[in-house]
Structure 1
Amino acid sequence: MADLASFATISSCCSASSAIASRGHSSPSSFIPLGRSPRYLSVSPHFKAYLAVNAIRPRKFSIVAVARSATTVPSDEKSPSSNSSQPASVVEPEQASQEQEVIDVLEYDEGRIRVCDKLIEVFMVDKTTPTDWRRLLAFSREWDGLRPHFYRRCQERADNETDPGMKHSLLRLSRKLKEVDEDVQRHNELLEAIRKAPAELGEIVSRRRKDFTQEFFVHLYTVAQSYKDDKAEQNALAKLGNDCVAVVQAYDNATEDTKAVNAAELKLQDIINSPSLDAACRKIDDLAQKNQLDSALVLMLTKAWSDAKETNMTKDEVKDILYHLYKTAVGNLQRLMPKEIRIVKHLLTIEDPEERLSNLNDAFTPGEELEGGNVDCLYTTPEKLHTWMKAVVDAYHHSREGTLIREARDLMNPKIIKKLEELIKLVEDHFM
C-alpha cells in the first residue's frame, strides 16, 4: 500500500514533465495529445488498438509527434484544460481518425521512397541502357503514378550526395530517363488515339506520319507482349500494329515516290486523251503487258471516278467512261499478282462448303489457263496453294506482315485468317 501511495504522489508531481518526455524517446504508449490535464486523459479504443498493434515501431510515432509539436502546450504554462471545473477532455473518434491519416501518409511516403530507391538501383545497375528502360516503362502499369516522385527522389539524393561521381550518375540517370520517358509518353498517346478510332487510321497516318517511327512500332509490339496473360488483347494489339504498317507503307508508296506519281499522271493524261473508249482500254492493257500498270495510276483512276461520281457537274457519259477505265485498270492490276493469291481470294468469297470444294477441284485440275472477260480460268497445284496460304497465316500469327508481298497483305484480317485456316485443312484432308 505504501508503494502504491508513493507512486501516486510521484505521478501527480511529474504530470507536467510527462508531456515533454512524450516528445523525445518515449514508448508508443506515451504518444498522446499534449496540453491536456493528465487526470482526464482518455484515448479512443480505435487509437489504443493501433498502439497495441504497432508498439514495435516507436520511431514513426516520434515523427508524428514532431509533426504535431506545434499544437503542444509548454510544460511551464498552465493548460487551459487543467482547471478541474472544466469538463473532462477526451480524444474524439474524429481526432483519432486524423492521427491515423497522418501516420498512414507517412508510411505511404516511406514506402514510395523505398520503391523509388529500388528503381534507381535497377536503372543504374541491372538495366542500364535506354533500350532496357523503354521496355521496362512499356511493361509497367504503375509508372504514371510513380513518375513525379521518382524524378524528385533522384534530385533529393543528388542534393544530399557527397560523392561527386555518384551525384553525377544520379543527375545523368534523371536526365536520360526523362528523355526516354517523354518518347514513351508520345508513343502511348499515339497508340491510344489509334485504339480509340481504328477506322480513322488512314487519316491519322496522313496527319502524323512523322510519329510512326521505328521506335513507335517497337513500343507497340512491346506493349502487346506485356499482355501475355490476356491473349485477346495481345492479338488485338498485334493486329493493330499490322494495320499501321500496311497503312504507313501505302501512304509512303503513294506520296514519297514523286517520280512514280509524276509518271502515273502522264499515263493517266495519255489514257484520257485517247480518241475512243476502246483505245483507252487498249492503252491500259498495253501498260499491264509491259508491267507498267502500277498502283499509283490505279489510285488516280479511282479518285477520278470517285470525284466524278459524287458531283452533279459531270455528265453521266463521262462517269461511265471513267468507271469503265477504272474497272479495266483494276482487272489488269489483279492479273499482275500471283495466280495462287487470286485463287485464294476467289475461294474466300465462297461460303458454301460443297461449292468451295468443287472450286478447289477445278483449281487443281490441269488445263488451259484463260484470262479475260469476267472469268479467269487458272490452274495450280495443292502444294503451291498450301504454301501461299500457310505463309499468310504464319505471318499473321508471328506479326511478320512485312515479309508478305503487297498483294497478300490485305488477307491479314482475323476473319480471313480463320477462313484461310479452314481452307488449309480442307486442302490437307482432300488433296495432300
Structure 2
Amino acid sequence: MVRLAARSLSAVRVYDCAMENLDTLEAAQSKFDDILSCSSLEAASDKINKLAKAKELDSSLILLINRAWAAVKDSTTMRNEVKDIMYHIYKVTRKALKSMAPPEIKLLKYLLNMADPEERFTALATAFPPGAGHAVKDATALYTTPKELHKWIKMMLDAYQLNKQETDLVEARQMSDPMVIQRLFVLKETIEQEYMKQNNVLDEKDEEFKTEPESVD
C-alpha cells in the first residue's frame, strides 16, 4: 500500500529546497523514500518510530513529510488511498515527534510565552551558540542555530496551515491563538533579517509565508 503513495508522490514536488544544502536534503529524501517503500502502514509506522528513537527524525525529514501531506491533502488528482496513507504517515510522525522533545521545540515554547518583544529578542540572541573559539557560557542552556530554529518555525507554521484544529507542536498555548501565530511570524522574520541574510543563508527567492497575519492587540 505504501508503495502506491511512493509512486504517486514521485510526480509531486513536496519540498522547498531553497533553505537546504544538498546533503541534508538528500538524507531527508532517502529516509522518506525508505518510509514510502515499506510494504505496509504498520511497517512504515515502525520505521518512523525507530528513526525517532535513534534521534534521526530531524527537522528536514519532518518538514518533508508535512509538505508531502500538504501536496496530496487537497489534490483532485490523487487517489483517496494515497491520501489515507500520507495522513497516516503524517499523524505517526507527529506522535513520534512528541516523544523526542527536540530542544528547538522547548526553546520556541520558552520564546512564545514571553509577552515582551524586547525580552523575546534578547532571549533569541542568547539561543545561538558563540562562534568558534568562544566558550559556551551556560552548559545547561538550550542552543541551536538560526537555520535550524528557522526550519522548526516553518514546520510549525506548516502544521498550522495544514490543520488548524490539530496543531499540537506548541503545548504552552494552542496554535489557534492568533497571538502565538503572530509571534511565530515575527520570530521567523527576525531570524531571516538579523541572522540568516547577513550570513547568506536565506535564499532571496524564498517567498514562503511572506504574508503576515493581521495585527493582534
Structure exhibiting the larger radius of gyration computed from Cα positions: 1
Higher relative contact order (CA 8 A, sep 6+): 2
Larger fraction in helix: 1
Does the pair score TM above 0.5? Answer: no
Normalised-by-shorter TM-score class: 0.3 to 0.5
Taking structure 1 as the reference length, the TM-score comes to 0.24
Q: TM-score, structure 2 length as denominator?
A: 0.45
